[in-house]
Chain A
């Protein structure tokens, strides 16, 4: 039954996808549906029944976006370059219609009796005429019956609509233009009036150029998906096109992008490293201190200490942001000071690290406790018998063993913090701004929050192409960390 619904969905959606020129999705939907039909209608292929649905979703929503990121990095996808070329030119041309300023002309809406097509009966200076999107023609006055005040009462072959009927089909008049020659059109301006509009731009598909009909200026496409005149004037909107390595060369060669990117990159590495280091050591110390067998309240400490881990991190980060507030935050109140925690380049870095120390220590405490408890007591005792001091036992035996057990988790934690978007964005918004970055990058931004701001949130337009180029770097770094971690934990060898 689910299969039936899926087939129905595909049959319904694919023609729409094709009409919108979404070729990739149309093909993907068809193939997925065929594969699923084949597998689930067959009696064999049991294993694939369990796997393929998940894999289909995985490919579409995780693998494809990764590749698509790579593609977008080579395009100029951004505000003003969001459409394909054909649509962009349509928009350009239709935006260029402007009223000529002539008086509105009386018209009535009618329906052709045979085709039921909407037509406008216009009192053209040359006489009454019938207009549709396709054209305009004068009709012989013998076809008309007029009322005493000049309105049309009857017309041969058409039925006049009442005002109420016109109101019910108003949306049909969006973009309803009657060509009357000479780049002039009648456009509906009221429920019984049209106005004369002139088209100022015209596109010539053979020469691939746009001409301004008033000034004669010729616009030709440039390699960044815009129509430009020789004087360098651009027409909005542009279209999406591939721009080669431009986004990459921008971040590598252009001082305004390279400087902030390098700074963000460096901070990303340092930030993730410091978070792992500080949380691990505090967690380890707490685990050692609070694991004494004579302490009766171990369980209570443990429960209370993992509270930060149990609290939803989005909310706790926002609460911290409030506590760090310079004017009213509780931290400044307690210190009796007015310290700009979140707006000073160094203090904001400190604040970010402190909050992560708070949020991340419980996890480290838990895994360190686990690792210590699983240490074999024999090794420790053997060392004690051999006369090792407690300090030696710790630094030469316990610590190396704990580190070895936890190494894969520490690397995983590094990778996690490397792209812990919320920890940065919700506390400081990546700020304070690095002045030289043109207002986008901030002193606490890590790669992922920088990407997000380029693409969505800096109030400087949405440059998806550039954001994807930065994401691309991020992908490479995160993938390298993962590969290292897999090697370390030998996951691949365990694959049986």
Chain B
């Protein structure tokens, strides 16, 4: 029995509570206020019908849906199109990255073959050269490829998706291999004895077992793509109709913050709430995924 358990048995007197616990709540409330400040301000601005930064109070004088209406109807900023682009790109990308990573990790974890160490080593080294830093080169590369293959031209959604797919192995393969290694190989061995092919083992046994981890990776990949600005703006920047929310929202307020703050806040609110809910809903898995790296060291 440790000290904490002993403490738990005795209820605290009010003065003890004051000394030991109350200040913790003070710190907690202060931290929470800091954490929620921008969110609260965003919500308040989104519903403020006066729609400008200067008029804003915490509780708007005249709350209403004007900003949302303006957001959806102003043809200068095709918000719904951006949102759709973001959803298409992020979800395609999340699934592709997960699948490419999961597939390669299976082979790296389960098969012993020539070149396995080399592959692992290569992936590790490649991680040191993130695509982000090569944005200029990727731009020039697509400028050339696009002359021959229209789907890979600058401004094309397909070009962006395939570039991101190229980064998948570097991001996910090592982490997933680590996870597969923890699944006892007796499971697939007995399946093999029962006559299952390698594809059956992979799709029927390994993938279902890894489902929670794959879900987290897919979610993080999805959020990561939603948030990606640099490569997305370099590749899609020239094409107003194919840009994502991240790039669009930045242009939206560029230079004229005051006038469009209200609709901007409304747009930011719509885009962030679903992601936040999903994230908080899955927080237990996400957190364990984050700390997994720490325990290995």
Using CB atoms and an 8 Å cutoff, list the residues of chain A in contact with chain B. 13, 16-17, 19-20, 22, 25, 46-51, 53-55, 57-58, 60-66, 68-69, 72, 77, 285-286, 289-290, 292-295, 297, 301, 303-316, 318-323, 325, 327-330, 333, 358, 361-363, 366-367, 370-371, 374, 377, 381, 384, 405-409, 412, 419, 421-422, 425-426, 448, 451-452, 455-456, 464, 467-468, 471, 474-475, 478-479, 482-483, 486, 488-492, 494-495
Contact = CB atoms under 8 A, between A and B. Distances in A.
A57 B166 contact: yes
Interface stretch (B25-33, B66-74, B208-216): B25-33
Given A358-B38, A422-B227, A293 B108 contact: no
Contacts of B295: 374, 405
A492 B127 CA distance: 13
A-B complex: 4 closest residue pairs judged by Cβ atoms:
A61-B166, A328-B53, A50-B107, A65-B134
Contacts of B167: 58, 61-62
Contact of B119 (A55, A323, A456): A55
8 contacts: A25-B145, A51-B103, A55-B169, A57-B162, A293-B8, A367-B290, A370-B290, A452-B234
A46 B188 CA distance: 15
Interface residues of B, number: 108
B39 A54 contact: no
Contact of B131 (A61, A308, A468, A479): A61
B166 to A, nearest CB: 2
Nearest to B181: A496
Contacts of B287: 366, 370
B155 interface: no
Interface in B64-99: none
By secondary structure, the B interface counts as: helix
B53 A330 contact: yes
Given A409-B293, A482-B128, A310 B229 contact: no
Contact of B116 (A47, A330, A421, A471): A47
A313 B135 CA distance: 20
B289 to A, nearest CB: 11
A422 B297 contact: no
Contacts of B291: 366-367, 370-371
Interface string B1-15: 011100110001000
Contact of A63 (B126, B173, B261): B126
Contacts of A307: 35-36, 39, 276, 280
Contacts of B36: 304, 307
Contacts of A330: 41, 53, 56
A371 B295 CA distance: 8
A289 B21 CA distance: 9
A408 B170 CA distance: 18
Most-contacted residue by chain B among A294, A303, A409 (CB, 10 A):
A294
A491 B249 contact: no
Given A47-B116, A371-B294, A65 B138 contact: yes
B204 interface: no
B42 interface: yes
B261 A489 contact: no
B132 interface: yes
Contact of A319 (B3, B128, B162, B265): B265
B182 interface: no
A54 B100 contact: yes
